[in-house]
């Protein structure tokens, strides 16, 4: 394998080729975690990796607790499998807490007060209560705990990191929280070494080939911890040197070659969120395309939400506008498109419309 093949192998291992899964839970389990900062985009990220899926079906799996959403790892929102959530919090919560320490001091949230918050949250959510942030704020205020704005956000994140609470089913468009012990029965805890080794194997299965620094970035572990995790998993991973760098992958990955004739295949198109695992799960993003394209994306700052992938390489950006009559997609390519590329983009846009259950219109913008 050389550097030109890394993108193609990742497409296959990230389920963006011909190999797909049957349920949202299987997708999240395969990838280990799916960034879910943008909830709508995260549902589409799962949908692209399924044989057949709609936004409503992914939402149904979320509401049923087949996939859970919580702050974890770097930290940001992620979807996790119920069987993984406790082990991952145990591995990564310490570093997240260290990163939060100065803000907790600024918000006057010390250990004693956070313990009171956890007791109040437990009482509020007990017996299957699923409450929104506003409802939990009221319950905390009733317990004489100021809990609004950033203060509420950090109180809830603390409880997530403690593996006390996680996502509950949505109430309309509003998110709720639930007690983790009522959402996921307790299981035998893994030892730190068991958890480290397992997490490395899962990452490289769904994201390989990748480097140790990629795994450290994705997981929130230190580079030393990531290297230790790889050492613990070495018997289950394949090592390769590509352009002078050491890459690891799972022998269970690198499935069938991506289908060049379909969206997501070797010559196909993908309409991805900037937060999709294919884009965000690596410290070294050189395999995504030429440096000038990456610099162009960085220059867009917060205006960048979505990227166009052609043949595994970043080839432009796209935006969507939802309307009652359907969804409008504006694609801004970085080069003059060939006929086959336009056909692949049209197929990807059609698949997106089918996922949303809406007619789609496509046009090209500067």
Q: What does the alpha-carbon distance between residue 143 and residue 117 come to, in Å, rounded to a whole number?
A: 9
Sign of CA dihedral 76, 82, 87, 89: positive
246-271 tens-digit pLDDT: 999 998 655 444 443 343 344 489 99
Question: What per-residue confidence (pLDDT) applies to 178?
Answer: 98
Nearest to 79 by CA among 35, 13, 47, 44: 35
**Mean of the pLDDT values across residues 71-93?**
95
Asked whether the predicted pLDDT for residue 40 surpasses 90, the reply is yes
291-337 tens-digit pLDDT: 888 888 888 888 889 999 999 999 999 999 988 789 999 999 999 99
Domain boundaries, the chain: 3-183, 269-364
Q: What does the alpha-carbon distance between residue 6 and residue 288 come to, in Å, rounded to a whole number?
A: 9
Residue 152: Cβ-neighbour burial (10 angstroms; 0-12, 13-18, 19+): buried
**Mean of the pLDDT values across residues 209-218?**
97
**Mean of the pLDDT values across residues 85-108?**
96
267-289 tens-digit pLDDT: 489 999 999 999 999 999 999 98
For residue 57, name the pLDDT band (cuts at 50, 70, 90): very high
Instruction: Write down the CATH number for the domain with range 269-364.
Output: 3.40.630
For residue 290, name the pLDDT band (cuts at 50, 70, 90): confident
Question: What per-residue confidence (pLDDT) applies to 321?
Answer: 92
């Amino acid at each position: 394998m050389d550097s030109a093949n890394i993108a193609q192998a990742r497409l296959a291992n990230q389920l963006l080729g011909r190999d797909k899964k049957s349920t949202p839970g299987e997708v999240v389990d395969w990838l280990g975690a799916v960034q879910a900062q943008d909830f709508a985009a995260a549902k589409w990220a799962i949908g692209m990796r399924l044989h057949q899926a709609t936004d409503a079906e992914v939402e149904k799996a979320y509401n049923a607790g087949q996939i859970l959403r919580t702050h974890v790892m770097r930290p940001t929102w992620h979807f996790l499998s119920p069987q993984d959530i406790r082990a991952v919090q145990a591995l990564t919560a310490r570093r997240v807490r260290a990163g939060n320490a100065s803000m907790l001091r600024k918000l006057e949230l010390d250990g004693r007060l956070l313990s009171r918050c956890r007791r109040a949250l437990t009482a509020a959510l007990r017996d299957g209560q699923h409450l929104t942030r506003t409802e939990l704020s009221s319950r905390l205020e009733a317990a004489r705990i100021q809990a609004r704005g950033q203060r509420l956000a950090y109180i809830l994140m603390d409880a997530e990191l403690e593996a006390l609470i996680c996502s509950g089913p949505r109430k309309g468009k509003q998110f709720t929280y639930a007690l983790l012990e009522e959402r996921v029965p307790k299981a035998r805890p893994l030892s730190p070494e068991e958890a480290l080794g397992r997490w490395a194997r899962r990452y490289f299965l769904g994201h390989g080939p990748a480097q140790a620094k990629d795994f450290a970035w994705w997981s929130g572990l230190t580079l030393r911890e990531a290297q230790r995790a790889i050492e613990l998993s070495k018997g289950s991973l394949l090592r390769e040197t590509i352009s002078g760098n050491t890459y690891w992958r799972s022998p269970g990955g690198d499935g069938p070659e991506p289908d060049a004739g379909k969206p997501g295949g070797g010559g196909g198109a993908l309409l991805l969120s900037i937060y999709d695992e294919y884009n965000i799960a690596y410290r070294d993003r050189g395999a995504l395309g030429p440096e000038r394209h990456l610099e162009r994306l960085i220059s867009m700052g917060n205006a960048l939400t979505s990227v166009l992938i052609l043949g595994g390489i970043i080839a432009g950006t796209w935006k969507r506008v939802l309307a009652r009559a359907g969804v409008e997609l504006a694609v801004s390519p970085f080069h003059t498109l060939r006929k086959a590329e336009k056909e692949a983009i049209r197929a990807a846009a059609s698949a997106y419309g089918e996922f949303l259950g809406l007619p789609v219109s496509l046009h090209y913008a500067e």
